[in-house]
Amino acid sequence: NFMLTQPHSVSESPGKTVTISCTRSSGSIASNYVQWYQQRPGSAPTTVIYEDNQRPSGVPDRFSGSIDSSSNSASLTISGLKTEDEADYYCQSYDSSNVVFGGGTKLTVL
Protein backbone atom coordinates (compact mmCIF):
# COMPACT_ATOMS: atom_id res chain seq x y z
CA ASN A 1 0.00 0.00 0.00
CA PHE A 2 1.15 3.51 -0.72
CA MET A 3 0.71 6.70 1.31
CA LEU A 4 -0.01 10.28 0.35
CA THR A 5 1.84 12.86 2.45
CA GLN A 6 0.61 16.43 2.81
CA PRO A 7 1.91 19.30 4.94
CA HIS A 8 -0.07 19.56 8.17
CA SER A 9 -0.83 23.25 7.71
CA VAL A 10 -0.17 26.24 5.49
CA SER A 11 -1.09 29.88 5.89
CA GLU A 12 -1.17 32.86 3.57
CA SER A 13 -2.72 36.29 3.27
CA PRO A 14 -5.83 37.18 1.31
CA GLY A 15 -5.10 37.86 -2.35
CA LYS A 16 -1.94 35.77 -2.35
CA THR A 17 -1.29 32.34 -3.88
CA VAL A 18 -0.74 29.13 -1.94
CA THR A 19 0.30 25.66 -3.09
CA ILE A 20 -0.41 22.45 -1.17
CA SER A 21 1.66 19.39 -2.02
CA CYS A 22 0.75 15.71 -1.92
CA THR A 23 3.61 13.22 -2.27
CA ARG A 24 3.05 9.58 -3.18
CA SER A 25 5.28 7.16 -1.24
CA SER A 26 5.48 4.36 -3.80
CA GLY A 27 4.29 3.85 -7.32
CA SER A 28 4.06 6.63 -9.85
CA ILE A 29 1.90 9.67 -9.11
CA ALA A 30 1.01 9.64 -12.79
CA SER A 31 -0.30 6.08 -12.77
CA ASN A 32 -3.63 6.95 -11.13
CA TYR A 33 -5.60 10.18 -11.03
CA VAL A 34 -5.42 12.51 -8.04
CA GLN A 35 -8.41 14.33 -6.61
CA TRP A 36 -8.56 17.20 -4.12
CA TYR A 37 -11.36 17.80 -1.63
CA GLN A 38 -12.18 20.86 0.47
CA GLN A 39 -13.77 20.42 3.88
CA ARG A 40 -15.01 23.40 5.84
CA PRO A 41 -15.62 22.97 9.60
CA GLY A 42 -18.77 21.02 10.32
CA SER A 43 -19.41 20.16 6.67
CA ALA A 44 -18.89 17.21 4.38
CA PRO A 45 -16.04 17.36 1.85
CA THR A 46 -16.57 18.69 -1.67
CA THR A 47 -14.43 18.19 -4.75
CA VAL A 48 -12.32 21.09 -5.96
CA ILE A 49 -10.12 19.14 -8.42
CA TYR A 50 -10.59 15.72 -10.02
CA GLU A 51 -8.46 13.73 -12.47
CA ASP A 52 -5.30 15.68 -11.59
CA ASN A 53 -6.40 19.05 -12.98
CA GLN A 54 -10.11 19.12 -13.78
CA ARG A 55 -12.44 21.54 -11.99
CA PRO A 56 -16.06 20.58 -11.29
CA SER A 57 -18.62 23.09 -12.43
CA GLY A 58 -19.03 25.81 -9.84
CA VAL A 59 -15.44 25.68 -8.60
CA PRO A 60 -13.70 28.96 -9.44
CA ASP A 61 -10.68 28.96 -11.73
CA ARG A 62 -8.61 30.23 -8.82
CA PHE A 63 -8.24 26.52 -8.00
CA SER A 64 -5.86 24.47 -10.14
CA GLY A 65 -4.20 21.08 -9.90
CA SER A 66 -1.07 19.53 -11.34
CA ILE A 67 1.23 16.56 -11.01
CA ASP A 68 5.02 16.40 -11.10
CA SER A 69 6.54 13.04 -11.90
CA SER A 70 10.04 14.18 -10.92
CA SER A 71 8.95 14.68 -7.30
CA ASN A 72 6.20 12.05 -7.50
CA SER A 73 3.76 14.57 -6.16
CA ALA A 74 0.56 16.40 -6.92
CA SER A 75 -0.17 20.00 -6.09
CA LEU A 76 -3.24 22.11 -5.45
CA THR A 77 -2.74 25.81 -6.13
CA ILE A 78 -5.21 28.45 -4.97
CA SER A 79 -4.66 31.96 -6.28
CA GLY A 80 -6.30 35.20 -5.18
CA LEU A 81 -6.94 33.72 -1.74
CA LYS A 82 -10.20 34.59 -0.04
CA THR A 83 -11.12 34.12 3.59
CA GLU A 84 -13.77 31.61 2.46
CA ASP A 85 -10.97 29.33 1.20
CA GLU A 86 -9.96 28.66 4.80
CA ALA A 87 -10.59 24.93 5.19
CA ASP A 88 -8.98 21.50 5.31
CA TYR A 89 -7.82 20.10 1.96
CA TYR A 90 -7.32 16.41 1.23
CA CYS A 91 -5.70 14.74 -1.75
CA GLN A 92 -6.88 11.29 -2.80
CA SER A 93 -5.69 8.63 -5.21
CA TYR A 94 -5.91 4.87 -5.62
CA ASP A 95 -4.33 1.73 -7.00
CA SER A 96 -5.75 -1.62 -8.04
CA SER A 97 -6.88 -2.54 -4.54
CA ASN A 98 -6.93 0.55 -2.36
CA VAL A 99 -8.21 4.08 -2.12
CA VAL A 100 -5.90 6.42 -0.22
CA PHE A 101 -6.40 9.87 1.24
CA GLY A 102 -3.64 12.20 2.31
CA GLY A 103 -3.63 13.27 5.93
CA GLY A 104 -5.08 16.67 5.12
CA THR A 105 -3.73 20.22 5.13
CA LYS A 106 -5.29 23.00 7.18
CA LEU A 107 -5.26 26.22 5.17
CA THR A 108 -5.42 29.42 7.19
CA VAL A 109 -6.10 32.65 5.36
CA LEU A 110 -5.07 35.53 7.58
Partner 1 sequence: QVQLVESGGGLVKPGGSLRLSCAASGFTFSDYYMSWIRQAPGKGLEWVSYISSSSSYTNYADSVKGRFTISRDNAKNSLYLQMNSLRAEDTAVYYCVKMATPRIHFDYWGQGTLVTVSS
Cα-only R_g, the chain: 13
Interface with partner 1 (CB under 8 A), residue from 21, 29, 73, 102: 102
Does position 89 interact with partner 1 (CB under 8 A)? The reply is no
Query: Binding marks (x or -) toward partner 1, 3..32, rule CB under 8 A?
Result: -----------------------------x
Nearer to partner 1, 39 or 66 (CB): 39
Reported in sequence order, the residue ranges of the chain that DSSP labels E, i.e. its strands, are 4-5, 9-12, 18-24, 35-39, 46-49, 63-68, 73-78, 87-94, 99-101, 105-109
Give the residues lining the site for partner 1 (CB under 8 A): 1, 32-33, 35, 37, 39, 44-47, 50-51, 56, 88, 90, 92, 94, 97-104
